Amino acid sequence: MPLTIDPNLPAPDAFYEALIDAHRDLTDAQSAELNAALILLLANHIGDMDVIGDALARARRSVLPGGDAA
Amino acid sequence: MTPIDYQALEFAYQKHPDQSCPTPASHRVVVVGAGPVGLTTALDLAQRGVRVVVLDDDYRLSTGSRAICFAKRTLEVWDRLGVGQRMVDKGVSWNVGKVFFRDQEVWRFDLLPEPGHRRPAFINLQQYYVEGFLHEAACAHPLIDLRWKSKVAGVAQRPDGVDLTVETPDGAYGLRAEWLVACDGARSPIRKLLGQESHGRVFKDRFLIADVRMSANFPAERWFWFDPPFHPNQSVLLHMQPDNVWRIDFQLGWNADPIEAVKPANVLPRIRALLGADAQFELEWVSVYTFACERMDGFRHGRIVFAGDAAHRVSPFGARGANSGVQDAENLAWKLQAVLDGAAPDTLIDSYAAEREQAADENLLNSTRSTDFITPKSAVSRSFRNAVLNLARDHPFARGLVNSGRLSLPTTYADSPLNTPDADAFAGRLAPGAAALDAPVRDAAGRDAWWLSYLDGRFVLALFCGGRAPDGATLAALRQLARGATPLRVVLVGDGSAPLDASPDIDVVHDHQGSLARRYDAPPGTCYLLRPDQHVAARRRAFDAATMAGALARALGRA
């Protein structure tokens, strides 16, 4: 199954709020470790290296100058 | 008997008659470096009837424990050379490892060795014992001529050999060798003489390494700390060795001063912080090391062949340094013998380079990955590392990501030109190029034995027979193979249900538990051709003399 890039979250605003809330009162270092833990948990859940590889490539392109996530 | 203090032994320089020769004396093989790899190479060659000169610029064995983990495959190589039991008798085994993060244990594992193997996954043993035992075996062998305080100062390649200049306390002399094997360590003077370099990554980190003698009540376990309270932001490893000596590795970081770090005034507080203020211990040896993950582009240069650290260097995590070097030695020795005997073309040595370069790449990959986990090089890398360790406590998946060194396993030479590819479907791990697996068997007289002891340095053709002896035509064909120009041992593997007759050229073994047939996915009729270094050359579901003769020629580089 390819990486889903169409909307898939039933309540996007609630997800986003939960994501930000999870970082409340954390130091930058703790936040960085939380993000890392989240990525690890989700990556293991996905378990498909092709999907993960596609996500990694898109995420990297999104932060590079001239990056194109399409 | 007082135990020998191998670290204190000094070997006298002796003038050799070669030094008085008007023209350089000629030798078949000269090995440079009397470390674990050079001595293993020399022993393997000598047991094959090849006379070897070993040159070493020093006059002592290893100081300090240095390489301490010797893997199963290495022990099996040394079994074939007759020194494995001594290593195992002296070494210590462990199965339980614990991983700590900050002030908590996050994971413990038990290696739970699979039964039915002669040797454990690995033993811990100080390098000076390994070298001491190998040295004693080398001294006892009439075909090994070991010369201390003999430094190779010059090499010149000829089409059929190498001219060496050897410096000694009595001055320099010349030697000729058909083949030169450079096992002269990470800084390899021979490599430098050739103008060759290793390429790869140098890690900007320093480790303090200490051997501590104490009678404390630490269990025989491997303890690895990430960021412990007693040594913040760095890693620490504690390992048990024989003689109540414990090995402790402290990561220091790149900015540590290596001269200051080894001073007792600086070492002792670190050790007390780990062991507790009241611990009674004695500091045996201390050193600071840095490491690199790199290799030479090619391991063969004409008649000069590189092995061990001279050819490739890895980080210490995963015990891949000395172990891969010993496997270099076993790969090279039989090939040199075959070429020297005229049984194989010179190009067989190219397969040494190809196979062991592949192995080096595998070891470099594993050791680089471990290093990146243990010593993160960026803030984000550290965040992921810490996240893995935090998750490992309660999340089984994260334990698989904890990388404090991956156990050294033999490389499968999957793409080797010496392999005859499978023509039939097989399950299991013994594809062409794989190292043979052990199993408990019984010899023809019904005594317990180990399968690997039958793989004695010759090619071995193993035919699984179940409960029925092969027919006369098959036996005749097997006998003809056994009597061929290449030393080849034929072994019939029965299942123990009926006797099989051994005959002058055909040995018999009984797989009474069925372990061997299971591991080799070998129902009756299956045959395997195993190389002198115990790697699989070919296998078929049914024996066919022409196929096996072809596989033998191919494994000798003649196809």
Distance CA B70, CA B327 (A): 11
pLDDT higher than threshold 80 for residue B60 = yes
Mean pLDDT (chain B) is 94
Task: Output the CA torsion sign for B248, B254, B259, B264.
Answer: negative
Nearest to B383 among A36, A41, A44 (CB): A36
Of A41-55, B340-354, B439-453, B499-513, the range with the lowest mean pLDDT is B499-513
Residues of chain A with a CB closer than 8 angstroms to some CB in chain B: 29, 32-37, 39-41, 44
Residue of B nearest to A32 (CA): B383
Residue A65's pLDDT is: 80
Residues of chain A in contact with residue B402, where contact means CB-CB under 8 angstroms, are none
d(CA B74, CA B94): 17
For residues B533 and B530, what is the distance between their CA atoms, to the nearest angstrom?
Answer: 8
Best residue of A44, A45, A60, A63 to probe chain B, by most B CBs closer than 10 Å: A44
- Using the Cβ of B398 and the Cβ atoms of chain A, whether some distance falls under 8 Å is answered with yes
Query: Tens digit of pLDDT for each residue in A1-18?
Result: 899 999 999 999 999 999
ipTM of the complex: 0.94
Mean pLDDT value of segment B339-366 = 96
Identify the pLDDT of residue B314: 87
Q: Are B370 and B69 in contact (CB under 8 A)?
A: no
C-alpha of B244 from chain center: 25
Alpha-carbon distances, residue B281 vs A14, B8, B288 (angstroms) = 59, 21, 20
Chain A nearest C-alpha distance from B106 (Å) = 15
Q: Which residue has the tokens 């470790």?
A: A33
**Collapsed DSSP state (helix, strand, coil) of residue B286:** strand
The answer to whether residue B395 neighbours chain A at the CB level (below 8 Å) is: yes
CA distance B86 to B123: 12
What is the C-alpha to C-alpha distance for residues B152 and B393, in angstroms, rounded to an integer?
54
**Pair of tokens at residue B490:** 């034929």
Distance CA B365, CA B177 (A): 34
Question: What percent of chain B has pLDDT above 70?
Answer: 100
Amino acid letter, B393: R
In this prediction, residue B109 carries a pLDDT of 86
Does the beta-carbon distance from A33 to B390 stay under 8 Å? yes
Are the Cβ atoms of A37 and B380 closer than 8 angstroms? no
Contact A37 B379 (CB under 8 A): no
At B319, is the pLDDT very low, low, confident or very high (cuts 50, 70, 90)?
A: confident
Rounded average pLDDT over B94-109: 91
Q: How many angstroms separate the CA atoms of B345 and B170, rounded? A: 38
Return d(Cα B237, Cα B212) in angstroms, integer. 13
Contact A36/B401, CB-based, under 8 Å? no
Question: Rg of the Cα trace of chain A?
Answer: 14
Do the Cβ atoms of B383 and A44 come within 8 Å? no
| Minimum-distance CB partner of B380 among A32, A37, A44 | A32
B368 or B352, higher pLDDT: B352
Pairing of strands B25-32, B52-55: parallel
Question: CA-to-CA distance for B37 and B308, rounded, in angstroms?
Answer: 6
Residues from chain A contacting residue B380 (CB–CB below 8 Å)? 32, 36
Closest by CA position to B507, among listed B546, B432, B451, B467: B451
User: Which chain A residues have a beta carbon less than 8 Å from that of B388?
Assistant: 36, 40
Interchain CB contact of B379 with A (< 8 Å): yes
Q: Inspect the interface and report whether the beta carbons of A40 and B391 lie closer than 8 Å.
A: yes
| CA–CA distance, B542 with B529 (Å, rounded to integer) | 12
- Measuring CA to CA, which residue among B369, B363, B377 is closest to residue B205? B377
CB nearest A32 (choices: B383, B388, B398): B383
CA distance to B462, B465, B484, per residue, from B543 (Å): 10, 11, 17
Statement: residue B490 has pLDDT above 60: yes
- B91 in helix, strand or coil? coil
| pLDDT band for position A69 (cuts 50, 70, 90) | very low
B102 at interface of A, judged by CB pairs closer than 8 A: no
Res B1 pLDDT > 70:
no
Instruction: Judge: A33–B388 Cβ closer than 8 Å, yes or no.
Output: no
From B379, B380, B388, residue closest to A40, measured CB to CB: B388
For residue B277, the model assigns a pLDDT of 85
CA B142 to chain CA centroid, Å, is: 24
Place of tokens 């395997």: B528
Q: How far lies B415's CA from each of B32, B324, B434, in Å?
A: 30, 18, 11
Check if B400 contacts A (Cβ < 8 Å): no
Q: Which residues contact B338 (CB under 8 A, 6 or more apart)?
A: B344, B348, B486, B556
Pairing of strands B488-494, B459-466: parallel
Taking the C-alpha atoms of residue A39 and residue A22, their distance in angstroms, rounded to an integer, is: 14
Two tokens, residue B142: 């009439």
Residue-wise pLDDT for B419-450, tens only, equals 999 999 999 999 999 999 999 999 999 999 99
Q: In whole angstroms, what separates CA B422 from the centre of its chain? A: 27
The dihedral built from the CA positions of residue B417, B420, B426 and B428, taken in this order, carries a sign that is negative
- The pLDDT score that the predictor gives to residue B499 is 85
In the block, residue with structure tokens 């010759």: B458
Interchain CB contact of B402 with A (< 8 Å): no
Please give the single-letter amino acid code of residue A25: D
φ, ψ dihedrals at B59, nearest 5°: -140, 25
Q: Where is average pLDDT lowest: B16-20, B94-98, B434-438, B461-465?
A: B94-98
Q: Tell me the pLDDT band of B464, cut-offs 50, 70 and 90.
A: very high
Mean pLDDT of B528-542: 98
Rounded to whole angstroms, the Cα distance separating B138 from B136 reads 5
Q: Is the pLDDT of residue B111 over 90?
A: no
Instruction: Please check the confidence at residue A68 and state whether its pLDDT lies above 80.
Output: no
Backbone angles phi, psi at B470, to 5 degrees: -65, 160
How many percent of chain B have pLDDT more than 90?
A: 84
Q: Determine contact, residues B332/B307, Cβ cutoff 8 Å.
A: yes
According to the model, what pLDDT value does residue B291 have? Answer: 84
Query: B315: which DSSP letter?
Result: -
* Preferred mutation among A30, A33, A34 to probe B, highest tally of B CBs within 10 A: A33
Instruction: Say which amino acid occupies B362.
Output: E
- Report the alpha-carbon distance of residue B292 to residue B237 in Å, rounded: 19
pLDDT in tens, B261-307: 999 999 999 999 998 888 889 999 999 988 889 999 999 999 999 99
B403 in contact with A, Cβ within 8 Å = no
pLDDT of residue B201: 85
Residue A70 pLDDT exceeds 60: no
With b for 16 or more beta-carbon neighbours within 10 A and e for fewer, the B39-64 pattern comes to: bbbbbbbbbbebebbbbbbbebbbeb
| Contacts with A36 from chain B: Cβ below 8 Å | 380, 383-384, 386-388
User: What is the predicted pLDDT for the residue at B326?
Assistant: 98
Q: How far is CA B428 from the centre of its chain?
A: 23
* Three-state secondary structure call for residue B464: strand
